[in-house]
Amino acid sequence: MSTALLQLCQHSTWATLGLIRYCQGIAAEDLDATIPGTYGTIRATLRHLVESEECDLMELTGERPEPLPDDPVALDALATRIELLGPRWERFAQDIELQEREIVTRDGRWRVPGAVPLAAMVQHANDHRTHVLSILGARGHMLSSSSSWPLSVWHHAIATGAARRVAPAPD
């Protein structure tokens, strides 16, 4: 089992939920904002992130998720879906057999090890969280006054107790 992969899956869920929860407290005009170089509006990007995670999971399981309602989707509905996806990704991160099993993509064009959709989910979610953070920053929002990367793996490690301060050595 790869504990690094498990950490990445746990971080991804934590960071996406943190970002969605932050966005629940901002004005609709900010949710509907975008900047060049990003996917789209904050609202559209978060929706896309959730739908993509569900599609990546479908590559592994064959299960079709219930479609999201037409726009705009309530952010609490997106948070609920991420909360349900998180433990499933964690199980797959610990399942070496699944990661090594060859699957055929849903479009029938590619044969890949199961690890590919798992890695794709982590990378894709990170890209789109960065898009949302860029839009928020451009509009004057800061998720944390102590860091420009409040959703980093390091912040996750600190928040979950995986990283702890070392007591200073006595003189």
Residue 18 contacts residue 10 (beta carbons within 8 Å)? no
Residue whose tokens read 């929706």 = 47
CATH fold of the domain at 3-160: Four Helix Bundle (Hemerythrin (Met), subunit A) (1.20.120)
Q: Supply the pTM of this predicted model.
A: 0.91
Query: Buried b / exposed e across 15-34, counting CB within 10 Å, b at 16+?
Result: bbbbbbebbeeeeeebbebb
Residues in the chain: 171
Would you call 4 exposed, middle or buried from its count of C-beta atoms within 10 A (0-12, 13-18, 19+)?
A: exposed
Share of the chain above pLDDT 90, in %: 77
Domain boundaries, the chain: 3-160
Q: What is the pLDDT of residues 25-79, one digit of tens each?
A: 999 999 999 999 999 999 999 999 999 999 999 888 888 889 998 878 999 999 9
CA distances from 88 to 9, 53, 100 (A): 10, 11, 17
**Who has greater pLDDT, 142 or 51?**
51
Backbone angles phi, psi at 22, to 5 degrees: -60, -45
Average pLDDT over residues 84-102: 95
The reply to whether omega before 168 is within 30° of 0 (cis) is no
